Structure 1
Amino acid sequence: MNLYRSARTVAGASGDRAVDWRAAAEAAKAATDPGSIDLEPGERAAYAGDVRDARDDVSEIAGLEFELPGTVEIQNRHHWIDANVETFERVMAPVESRVGAFPGVARTVNTGTMTVMLSFLGRNVLGQYDPLLLADDPTREHALYFLRPNIVDAADALDVEYDRFRRWIAYHEVTHAAEFAAAPWLPDHLEERMQRGIDELSEGSFDKKAFRELDATMTVVEGYAELLMDHAFDDEYADLREKLEARRQGRNPLQQLFRRLIGLGLKRRQYERGKAFFEHVAAERDVAAAGAVWERPANLPNHDEIDEPDRWLRRLDP
């Protein structure tokens, strides 16, 4: 980790775009210890076994047949930054293309902001299912990433067995693969709302409806994953949830503020609202009934129905 080199890279941001993405990635890596991916004997096979078992158990619980992503990687933090800087660049491209050339000082500030964000997330993300939203090449395969250094550090900080914690993370990420397999229309649905909202922002306005629909959809994505994970995981998990939540709550005020600023507070709210919605649906019907959300876009609960799941049940089965 070299903070001086990171700052120097940001200061040297160049080009005619709002963000120098190459500089942001290099500066983020300079500010972030990559961590080790020197696997213990049998560890790679254990990761593969976790993912396969998760696929089989989630398939059985959800009644879905699905394939695992074509790319499954055990990464260090620098690998994750390299993989995700492309995603950030794709999402920001519409805004940058409309804003035009930025003065050097503004570009440096923007590049520094993205550096801090990439570095922070690179140190905290445990696993990721990447559906490659807004990717130019539709033939690119979805990807599944595990950040081994972060999983090892989190298991140690939480005082839980690494093998069990790693397996729990695998089950969570594989549930996302199941969702996108169950709903082939989901990437287009998300992209349309993302694009609409970003386009409006680039024009200086805010499309409240687009972001409200995007928030509702992501709440469903996160909530359904939590439901499947709880029913499919083949070990105890209550202590894992409890300790992980305590760790989140125990962050210092500055860390909590930063998490809210970059949207992690919103993501946590999506987990909680979505989980409550699907727990109610599963209790009233069953887990299979909850999967009706993926049959077609019209079956997605709207923002209000998420908080009143009986309304959604009545709409789908009047």
Structure 2
Amino acid sequence: MNLFRSVRAVTGASGDGAVDWDAVVEAARASTDPGPLDVSAAEREAYATDVRDARTRIRSIGDLTFDVPDRIEIQNRHHWIDANADTFRRVMQPVESHTTVAIPGVSRVVNTGTMSFMLAFLGRNVLGQYDPLLLADSNDHALYFVRPNIVDVADKLDVEYDRFRRWIAFHEVTHAAEFGAAPWLTDHLEATMDDGIEALSRGTLDREAFEELDTTMTVVEGYAELLMDHAFDGEYADLRAKLDARRQGRGPLARFVRRTLGLGMKRRQYERGKAFFEQVAEQRDVETASVVWDRPENLPTNDEIDDPDAWLRRLNL
């Protein structure tokens, strides 16, 4: 980790855009310890086994037809930064293309520093990621495991690494199940994101688009929690409790950064979405819950997430 090199990369930001993305990656990598990635053949096979077992269990529990991505990577933190820098760039491109500032050089340095800080923070905290590669030119999907973070968190939580790794694998495969069962979901999210970002680039706020995006992500996170509850082949209440306690125990700066990056919103999406699907499964069954992926019109509205009975009535379930 080299903080001087990171600062130098940010202050040396150049180019014509609002963000120097090469400098973003250089600064994020320089300020982040990549972590060890000395993975044995046995451990690589253990990751693959976890993913295969999760796929089999989730297919059975959710009555879903899907497969896991061809790209399954065990990464260090720098690998994750490299993989996600393009996602940041794609999301920000419409805003950049419409942005004009009075002092371009100063603004570029500030923007570059902000993006590199966000990317580095996430790179040090993400455990696993199912990536549908939104706004990419291809329809490729990928599954990432950031091994140094998984090892560190398992150690800090005082839980067995193999068990924690398996739990992370099951959670990420639930997301693969959702996008695999709903081929329309990627396009739906991309269109909603495009509408919201395009409005921001014009200096306006499309509240409807952002509410739709929040609602869809609440469904995505909530359904994943439902599948985890039914599919994981072991007890994990202690894992979740320890993770929640660790989040609550973060310092004020870390809590501020998490709020700024919307990670608090993600937790709310987990909880609200899970409550919706738990009630649906209790009144009907898990298979009924999977109806949300049949077509976009089956997604619950924002109001229906808090009133699952209304959703069941609307779909005659």
Smaller-chain TM-score bracket: over 0.9
Q: Which amino acid aligns with 2:81?
A: I
Residues 19-43 of structure 1: CA distance to partner in whole angstroms, max 9, x if unpaired? 1011001100000000011014511
Q: 1:137 Cα shift?
A: 2.8
Q: Which amino acid aligns with 1:116?
A: F
* Helix, strand or coil at the partner of 1:199: helix
Verify the 8 A CA contact 1:61 1:228 in the aligned structure 2. Answer: yes
Structure 1 residues 303-312 or 39-48, which shifts more?
A: 39-48
Q: 1:307 Cα shift?
A: 1.1
Partner of residue 38, structure 2:
38
* Helix, strand or coil at the partner of 1:42: helix
Residues 47-80 of structure 1: CA distance to partner in whole angstroms, max 9, x if unpaired? 0000000000000001112111010000000000
Moved over 6 A (4+): none
Instruction: Count residues with an aligned counterpart.
Output: 316
Q: 1:179 Cα shift?
A: 0.3
Q: Which amino acid aligns with 1:223?
A: G
Q: TM-score, normalised by structure 2?
A: 0.98
Q: Which amino acid aligns with 2:8?
A: R
Pairing 1:246–2:245 present: yes
Question: Percentage identity across aligned positions?
Answer: 71
Between the aligned partners of 1:98 and 1:56, the Cα distance in structure 2 is: 46
Q: 1:286 Cα shift?
A: 0.5
Residues 59-104 of structure 1: CA distance to partner in whole angstroms, max 9, x if unpaired? 0001112111010000000000000000000000001111157611
Verify the 8 A CA contact 1:17 1:100 in the aligned structure 2. Answer: no
Between the aligned partners of 1:258 and 1:150, the Cα distance in structure 2 is: 18
* Helix, strand or coil at the partner of 1:124: coil
Partner of residue 303, structure 2:
304
* Helix, strand or coil at the partner of 1:132: coil
Partner of residue 216, structure 1:
215
Between the aligned partners of 2:263 and 2:134, the Cα distance in structure 1 is: 19
Between the aligned partners of 2:247 and 2:316, the Cα distance in structure 1 is: 38
Counterparts of residues 23-62 of structure 1 (less than 5 Å)? 23-40=23-40, 42-62=42-62
Partner of residue 8, structure 2:
8
* Helix, strand or coil at the partner of 1:137: coil
Q: 1:212 Cα shift?
A: 0.2
* Helix, strand or coil at the partner of 1:39: coil
Q: TM-score, normalised by structure 1?
A: 0.98
Partner of residue 68, structure 1:
68
Counterparts of residues 130-145 of structure 1 (less than 5 Å)? 130-138=131-139, 141-145=140-144
Between the aligned partners of 2:216 and 2:182, the Cα distance in structure 1 is: 12
Structure 1 unaligned residues grouped into runs of 5+? none
Residues 107-156 of structure 1: CA distance to partner in whole angstroms, max 9, x if unpaired? 00000001110010000000000001111234xx2000000000000000
Verify the 8 A CA contact 1:75 1:147 in the aligned structure 2. Answer: yes
Counterparts of residues 1-318 of structure 1 (less than 5 Å)? 1-40=1-40, 42-100=42-100, 103-138=104-139, 141-317=140-316
* Helix, strand or coil at the partner of 1:221: helix
